[in-house]
């Protein structure tokens, strides 16, 4: 079968007959085939076993027909080898949160190829098998720092907020370290064959816009300018920052469902291919609602600089698989 390069065309803003479609968290617990593999190993073991990580990466391509694969891993994987005691339960738990300069000084620099060889082995296996583009990914420094300082998931991530307000130098030293590691981590994914990369900034949206602009955005920009493949930046709840984010010179911007694509395109000066933005909760409705919502988003996408169909955030566990299939078929015109 010919290589499906729709995603790459869309990222290069070439006209496509329909938008490419993939879904954030497309491999995961809503799929029985994922659960079958996951029964045998812990989540961390799954991420660290290339044959299994490869198998679950392929599931949404083979079973659902997505137009792109995303490496199966987690944003926190590259922080473990630099000195973070990480577990998943299933949410992340960190036994040694980073709160002081001494904690930061103890963190090693990441050597991607030797610290997380399984990531690159998984990519090597995948690029041999796939006939769709492989998307690599990382967390953004701020989102990684949220987990590293808090030690767990949170609604408010007060530890990073305290650090930003009371010890900005400490915050910047952590952000600089993570920025340096992230560039190396992502660039090595590209060297191994990832055709594009996405950086997830899941918690960026908790900040006042001025703080985001001054303390977080410069690191995002630096990373985006040091990766030699199309780069997609996704900040959940990031639409309030679009007049800052539009200063990026990358290929794509992920858009959540709290804005419309048309409004996002306008605020971003029609500079980017937009990726999104169906509310993942819609997948808990019925086929008619899924189809109607998807078609509206596709119509809006036609009026933007470029469009990759996706959700506005990851698929949730318990999502009915038949609705996910129906969504992908709708976008593909099947
Ligand atoms: O998109 C994909 O299909 C690729 C795999 C992927 C996972 N995590 C697998 C995963 C990706 C791209 C991520 C990114 C990730 N991880 C983010 C950014 C995207 C987002 O959702 O905002 C964040 C914030 C994390 C941190 C993380 N990992 C959390 C908060 C959790 C627990 C929440 C949950 O879904 O249970 C995880 C665990 C995790 N990451 C699972 C999977 C499939 C569930 C683990 C399991 O199988 O038990």
Average confidence (pLDDT) over 248-252:
98
Backbone phi, then psi, for 70, in 5-degree steps? -120, 130
Q: Mean pLDDT throughout 178-200?
A: 98
User: Counting atoms of ligand 1 from 1, which one is nearest the CA of 25?
Assistant: 1
From 22, 24, 27, 28, the mutation candidate for ligand 1 (largest count of ligand atoms within 8 A of CB) is 28
pLDDT exceeds cutoff 90 at 175: yes
Helix, strand, coil % (nearest 5) of the chain?
A: 50, 15, 35
pLDDT exceeds cutoff 90 at 308: yes
Distance 27 CA to ligand 1 centre (A): 9
Ligand 1 centre from 92 Cα, in Å? 9
CA 269 to chain centre: 23
pTM of the predicted model as reported, rounded to 2 decimal places: 0.97
Q: What backbone torsions phi and psi does residue 231 show, to the nearest 5 degrees?
A: -120, 130
pLDDT surpasses 90 at 25: yes
Q: Whose CA is nearest to atom 5 of ligand 1?
A: 72
Model confidence at 60, in pLDDT bands (50, 70, 90)? very high
Average pLDDT, rounded, for the chain: 98
The residues lining ligand 1, judged by C-beta closer than 6 Å to any ligand atom, are 24-29, 38, 43, 70, 72, 74-76, 88, 90-92, 137, 153, 200, 202, 314
- Strands (DSSP E) contained in 164-321 are 196-201, 231-235, 252-255, 273-278, 307-311
Q: What spacing in Å lies between the alpha carbon of 199 and ligand 1's midpoint?
A: 13
Q: Is the pLDDT of residue 265 over 90?
A: yes
Mean pLDDT of 13-27: 97
Residue 158 has pLDDT above 90, yes or no: yes
Active site residues: 25, 29, 38, 74, 147
pLDDT at res. 274: 98
Q: Which of 29, 90, 257 is the pocket-test mutation for ligand 1 (most atoms within 8 Å of CB)?
A: 90
pLDDT score at 1: 79
Q: pLDDT digits over 44-54, tens only?
A: 999 999 999 99
Classify residue 9 as exposed, middle or buried by CB count within 10 Å of its CB (0-12, 13-18, 19+).
middle
- Shortest-distance atom of ligand 1 to CA 34: 47
pLDDT at position 269 is: 98
Supply the residue whose CA is at minimum distance from atom 22 of ligand 1.
Answer: 202
Q: What is the pLDDT of residue 197?
A: 98
Give 131's pLDDT tier (boundaries 50, 70, 90).
very high
3-state secondary structure of 315: coil
Ligand 1 atom with least separation from CA of 153? 30
Residue nearest to atom 3 of ligand 1 (CA): 25
């Amino acid at each position: 079968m010919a290589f499906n390069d729709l995603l790459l065309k869309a990222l290069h803003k070439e006209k496509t007959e329909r938008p490419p479609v993939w879904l954030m968290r497309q491999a995961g617990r809503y799929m029985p085939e994922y659960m079958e593999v996951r029964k045998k190993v812990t989540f961390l073991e799954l991420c660290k076993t290339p044959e299994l990580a490869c198998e679950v990466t392929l599931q949404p391509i083979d079973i659902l027909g997505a137009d792109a694969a995303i490496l199966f891993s987690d944003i926190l994987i590259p922080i473990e080898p630099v000195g973070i005691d990480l577990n998943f339960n299933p949410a992340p738990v960190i036994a040694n949160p980073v709160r002081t300069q001494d904690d930061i000084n103890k963190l090693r620099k990441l050597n991607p190829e030797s610290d997380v060889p399984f990531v690159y082995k998984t990519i090597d296996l995948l690029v041999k098998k796939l006939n769709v583009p492989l998307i690599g990914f990382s967390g953004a420094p701020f989102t990684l720092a949220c987990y590293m300082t808090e030690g767990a998931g949170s609604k408010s991530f007060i530890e990073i907020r305290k650090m930003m307000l009371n010890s900005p130098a400490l915050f910047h030293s952590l952000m600089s370290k993570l920025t340096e590691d992230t560039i190396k981590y992502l660039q090595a994914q590209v060297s191994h064959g990832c055709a594009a990369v996405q950086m997830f900034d899941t918690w960026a949206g908790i900040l006042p816009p001025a703080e985001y602009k001054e303390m977080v955005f410069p690191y995002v920009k630096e990373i985006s300018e040091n990766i030699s493949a199309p780069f997609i930046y996704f900040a959940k709840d990031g639409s309030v920052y679009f007049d800052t984010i539009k200063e990026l010179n990358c290929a794509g911007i992920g858009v959540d469902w709290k804005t419309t694509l048309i409004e996002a395109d306008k605020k971003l000066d029609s500079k980017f291919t937009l990726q999104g933005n169906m509310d993942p909760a819609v997948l808990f409705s019925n086929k008619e609602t899924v189809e109607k919502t998807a078609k509206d988003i596709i119509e809006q996408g036609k009026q933007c600089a470029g469009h990759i169909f996706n959700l506005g955030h990851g698929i949730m566990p318990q999502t009915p698989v038949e609705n996910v299939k129906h969504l992908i078929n709708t976008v593909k015109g099947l």
